[in-house]
Structure 1
Amino acid sequence: MGKVKIKEMSWHSIYLTIKFEGEEVNDFDYYVTDLKNDYNLGKADNNQLVINIVNINDTKLLDNGKWYFYYMKNDKKNILSINPKFGYTLENLDKIYRYGSECYSYIINFQIVDKSILEKKISQQNIVGDKFLINENDLILCMFTTYMKKNKHPEKKDVILESNSLKQGLRKIVFIVTKSTIRSIYAILNKIRKKDGKHILFMSETRVPIGGNLKAIDSRIKERGLDKEFKISYSFSKTLQQSKLKTFFTWSRLLWLIAKQDYIFVDDYVPIFKTITLYKDTKLIQVWHAGVGFKSVGYSRFGKAGSPLPKDSCHRKYDYALVGSNGLIPVYEEVFGIPRNHFIATGLPRLDDYLNQNKISEFKNQFYKDFPELLGRKIIMFAPTYRGNTQKEAYYPYDKINMNLVKELCEHEYAFIFKMHPFITEKIEIPKENNKYIKDLSNYGDINEMFYVTDVLITDFSSNIYEFALQRKPMIFYAFDKDFYQLTRGVHRTLEQAPGVVCERFEEVIEVIKNNKYDMNKLNDFLNESFNDHKRLSSDIAIDKILLNKE
């Protein structure tokens, strides 16, 4: 059976033209399915198929749902995938058909879906697996069809519309009531707890304890003696990993703290500010935990799985947001969905003392004291970002790493360190006989300090390239799922702009290292875009502007 892919799609009014590439294209029957209902689209003519979108389902439009295209011959069903080049134009095909005095609309949206998600749905529908052929590297096309009704109150949630069952509806009602209760408690506490302009709270709901930019600003405040002028409080927890009941009690304490504050510094997504809106006399400052990377976050993912809601997002509520340089303001303007004048190009406070030679020497001495066997070896750090849409789903497919090749590489001059993303809980298995020069140090030290001893960084879409770039050392971007990740997760820019070599196979990574085939040409451009020259410390710029109202 020949392999067929979609290479191009286009609209003309209500007609969708699909052009194919592959073998025996015109010999197959083509179908669309939601895994419950199948509709025959006919055969291709001259390697293309024209579909009347209002006349697929026996003179009806397709119902609300997720639809997949497949082709069949001799009872063999093969899911249609797309050419990667075409995938980058998918968003241009979304359609909205308004009708009924513009009170209603029919929306068609195209996205690429994960093979594992589709296979799970096929299993749930009890479809015989061997009749639906899906290849591992396929970019599977999904067509979302949705009947929508105009919402007269877009600022309000429609519990009935959003619920697929009575149980789900009741849970949403409980959530709404709880949210209203929390807001009321905050309003009362805000009136009771009078402010004096001198209270600062450093907080995070994703990290414990204080670190990074928050720690740098806190330390600098104390170095300048401003802790005698300001009252500083701290709150660090991991509410995203807690039960809803425990989170409610965590938030109860937080509300008491928040209500008293004049300035609140955060370094990541903070769920409580999705629930409450601070009064104008409290300033919320986002210092963000990372530099710029490739993967999309916040509103740059709008419309994709895991994206924030239009209104109920803590990102919308920042009075100030610190960024590394003027060149990065447009990037984070997209991420946070706030006006450009809310950003301060301070640089990152945690990098104020980053290249201090005494600090570097101290870390190196301690590191080689802890791991004397690594002294004299070139250290390769493997530090990719996670896969999955949320913190709870985070994982990395370790089968994409050829440990035999890693072992071979480390037989002589190299050591290989794994520094996995904090969200990834599953540990990589390293055989005892190989753990002398191959180590999992995911729980050891701060990654930015570990860059002092790293000679080569292997990453992918992670923002850790931001700090490592300052070392002016080689980077390799190993993205086995480059097209799939960029087309589904979304990126600010593609890996074609990466300041290093891009590899899609692990064998290529090893080859680059063995032959020193690094690409350093784009590094200077990346540094110029990502960093401003400052005469003052980044933490001082933030403190003077926000706390002391000085330029």
Structure 2
Amino acid sequence: MREESDQQATDDGIITITDKELAEELKRLNKIDKEQLNRPGTKQITEMNWNGSFLKISGYAFINDTNVTHEDQVSKSLILQNTNEESCVYEFPVIDLEINSLMSPEQQKKHKWAGFEVEINFSQVTLKAEPLPEGTYETYIQVCVKDDNSIYQEALLPLGNIEDLIQNGFHSTKMEYFSSKRFLLHNLMATYNRKKKTLEIVSTKLKDINPAELEYQNVKSKQYKFMRKYVFKLLYMIFNFLPIKKNRVLFATDSRTELNGNFGFIHDEMISRNLDIDYKYMLKESIDEKKTFKDIWNLALWSATSKKIILDDFYPMIYPLRIRKEADLIQVWHAVGAFKTFGYSRVGRPGGPSIKSKNHRNYTKAIVSSKNVGRHYAEGFGIKEEETIVPIGAPRTDVFFDDTYKNAKKEELYDEYPFLKGKKVILFAPTFRGNGQSSAHYPFDVLNFKELYDNLKDEYVFIFKIHPFVNNKVTIPYQYVDFFYDFSEYREVNDLLFITDILITDYSSVCFEFALLNKPMIFFAYDVEDYIRQRDFYFEYQSFIPGTLAKNTEDIISSIINKDFEKQKIKPFVDYFFDHQDGFASRRFVDQVILENNPEQI
């Protein structure tokens, strides 16, 4: 591209704001002398790359008659100005860089720190991390310089002729936002504005709805809510007059319709012993799935008369109940170890529970993998550690010590998915973003599909296992379907771990199970700073993860190609989070929790 010089910038003041409600205050704070905006400047955009809603721009910009020989003399920002609303301006600070050989030697010496680089995610530009609001925006580079005489000067420069840097003359993508009360869908269109000689971005709102009002989610009528809350509790109180059946065990979950996961291994162990058990099951796919009156009747009856009630996830109907003294309410949870904070560890944080909530507090036992994480689970569940935490291991991890099971599962997967044979498998299994199931999403644009494909396709396949809560689905471009595969509907992620050569995750507990295989991991935590501020962890993230930290696609590719996985972290990680590494957690559960070390009991 040619280098361009602007003899005059704009005559308007710059208001750098992030949301409209801050406009007046920021007008005062960011009032700029209009005469300073008339300063001539020179700029060149050397690179512009789009990946979905992510834009990465690099180049250089400087005010012509100034010297910038030290980094602290200059700051630059990318500015988006709404053409129809002067108060709507978005500012994105850039990384200031030393200039490269694109400039003349004289310019390089005089404007050493004129270079810059910036990456913007247009899906999350407001304070609420919503997409770029609807409107048409012009793009500028703002240069702020304090020269050798401590005189402060500014210039606002259009990007110049960047038409050749936009493939096919335009870029278009969708931008999504999820919260418990709002789903936004915008279209973003980026083109070159020949009149203004800069990048023009148009955001068009396509959808703005409240998910709770959608017909397919509005399944809870007032009558159903009354029956689920009050009738259920009344029935439970009535059934409390019945004697507890000492051999009755209830498996209850709102996250699965089959006995798999921890439930499956516990149940199989009990069946293998031919115990005289009166098994009861209340299995639903999700919390939103309606329970019939018969379901509510049975749940109340079985909860009141079972000696053991076993849960594997959040189960709100049981939390208001007073568990009978002769009975146990046992939480085996669906995750291993302790990573990101949950439950009452998040009181006072966005999406955290009320301190008055009754959720989880009535557990009589909670199963964990190690005594080292007991206090974190006790805090998260709001229960007493010394009375309820049982560090016997997660039953579903038993298979990691069972070579027969692992080999059989591998063969089963290879037979069902023959394209996995002959390639190394990269499994991408991140956790969701959002405060809960209704707002759960994952911004797939953070991955550069083309770069991953071009660099890894010959040796690897890349499979997705996305959290079941995630509302948006991954869309695999047709030209890459021989490399990317979506396994999100495959129920048990642990089975996929046996065929996985490299795991890419972020804040998911899947890293605990995978560590038992002593295989490499990459932690793709592009938003780790925000995640720490908003969600936080029980441990310091960078020292905790048993693998390499990656912040972008380039980091992922570099780690894989260079085999930089920091595997030396895995063994101490496993030793800390697993007291028992023997494959007998299911046996211990039955012995210590069901039989209470008394085989004659049942």
Alignment TM-score, normalising by the size of structure 1: 0.69
- The answer as to 2:374 corresponding to 1:339 is no
Which blocks of at least 5 consecutive residues in structure 2 are unaligned?
1-12, 31-80, 94-123, 141-220
Shift of 1:251: 3.2
Q: For the residues of structure 1 that align with 2:402 and 2:583, how far apart are their CA atoms?
A: 15
Secondary structure at 2:360 match in 1: helix
2:494 maps to 448
Give the alignment partner of residue 187 of structure 1, picking from 228, 231, 237.
237
Shift of 1:548: 2.1
1:401 maps to 447
- The answer as to 2:554 corresponding to 1:507 is yes
Q: For the residues of structure 2 that align with 1:406 and 1:335, how far apart are their CA atoms?
A: 38
2:481 maps to 435
Deviates more, 1:312-321 or 1:448-457: 312-321
AA of the residue aligned to 1:319: T
Shift of 1:500: 0.6
Give the alignment partner of residue 267 of structure 1, picking from 312, 323, 330.
312
Q: Do the aligned residues in 1 keep the contact of 2:522 with 2:549 (CA within 8 Å)?
A: yes
AA of the residue aligned to 1:287: V
AA of the residue aligned to 1:509: I
Shift of 1:397: 0.8
Q: Do the aligned residues in 1 keep the contact of 2:253 with 2:313 (CA within 8 Å)?
A: yes
Give the alignment partner of residue 214 of structure 1, picking from 256, 263, 269.
263
1:198 maps to 247
Q: Do the aligned residues in 1 keep the contact of 2:15 with 2:23 (CA within 8 Å)?
A: no
- The answer as to 2:543 corresponding to 1:492 is no
Secondary structure at 1:521 match in 2: helix
Secondary structure at 2:498 match in 1: helix
Alignment of 1:6-17 (within 5 A): none
Q: For the residues of structure 2 that align with 1:174 and 1:540, how far apart are their CA atoms?
A: 40
Q: Share of identical aligned residues, percent? A: 30
Q: Give the 3 Å change call, closer, same or farther, for CA 325–40 of structure 1 in structure 2.
A: closer
Secondary structure at 2:281 match in 1: strand
Secondary structure at 1:417 match in 2: strand
- The answer as to 2:540 corresponding to 1:530 is no
Q: Give the 3 Å change call, closer, same or farther, for CA 437–182 of structure 1 in structure 2.
A: same
- The answer as to 2:396 corresponding to 1:350 is yes
Q: Do the aligned residues in 2 keep the contact of 1:28 with 1:43 (CA within 8 Å)?
A: no
Alignment TM-score, normalising by the size of structure 2: 0.63
Shift of 1:368: 1.6
Q: Do the aligned residues in 1 keep the contact of 2:424 with 2:461 (CA within 8 Å)?
A: yes
Q: Do the aligned residues in 2 keep the contact of 1:31 with 1:38 (CA within 8 Å)?
A: no
Alignment of 1:307-386 (within 5 A): 307-341=352-386, 342-386=388-432
Secondary structure at 2:319 match in 1: helix
- String of CA shifts for 1:180-239, please: whole Å, max 9, x gaps: 443222101221x3213111001101222121111111111111121x2x2111111134
Give the alignment partner of residue 251 of structure 1, picking from 289, 296, 304.
296
Secondary structure at 1:392 match in 2: helix
Give the alignment partner of residue 35 of structure 1, picking from 7, 21, 26.
21
Q: Give the 3 Å change call, closer, same or farther, for CA 471–253 of structure 1 in structure 2.
A: same
Q: Do the aligned residues in 2 keep the contact of 1:326 with 1:532 (CA within 8 Å)?
A: yes
- The answer as to 2:442 corresponding to 1:391 is no
Larger Rg: 1 or 2?
2
Q: For the residues of structure 2 that align with 1:43 and 1:431, how far apart are their CA atoms?
A: 45
Q: For the residues of structure 2 that align with 1:323 and 1:264, how far apart are their CA atoms?
A: 17
2:589 maps to 542
Q: For the residues of structure 1 that align with 2:504 and 2:428, how far apart are their CA atoms?
A: 5
AA of the residue aligned to 2:482: K
Shift of 1:519: 1.0
Shift of 1:264: 0.3
Q: Give the 3 Å change call, closer, same or farther, for CA 115–277 of structure 1 in structure 2.
A: farther
Q: Give the 3 Å change call, closer, same or farther, for CA 523–36 of structure 1 in structure 2.
A: closer
Which blocks of at least 5 consecutive residues in structure 1 are unaligned?
1-26, 45-71, 83-113, 134-170
Q: For the residues of structure 2 that align with 1:206 and 1:445, how far apart are their CA atoms?
A: 11
Q: For the residues of structure 2 that align with 1:43 and 1:466, how far apart are their CA atoms?
A: 48
Q: For the residues of structure 1 that align with 2:132 and 2:426, how far apart are their CA atoms?
A: 41
Secondary structure at 1:525 match in 2: helix
Q: Give the 3 Å change call, closer, same or farther, for CA 441–172 of structure 1 in structure 2.
A: closer
Alignment of 1:64-213 (within 5 A): 115=125, 118=128, 179-191=229-241, 193-213=242-262
- String of CA shifts for 1:88-119, please: whole Å, max 9, x gaps: xxxxxxxxxxxxxxxxxxxxxxxxxx755637
The alignment covers a number of residue pairs equal to: 427
- The answer as to 2:292 corresponding to 1:242 is no
Q: Give the 3 Å change call, closer, same or farther, for CA 80–252 of structure 1 in structure 2.
A: farther
Q: For the residues of structure 2 that align with 1:450 and 1:31, how far apart are their CA atoms?
A: 46
Q: Do the aligned residues in 1 keep the contact of 2:367 with 2:393 (CA within 8 Å)?
A: yes
Deviates more, 1:259-268 or 1:401-410: 401-410
Secondary structure at 1:450 match in 2: helix
Secondary structure at 2:354 match in 1: coil
Q: For the residues of structure 1 that align with 2:90 and 2:515, how far apart are their CA atoms?
A: 42
1:151 maps to none
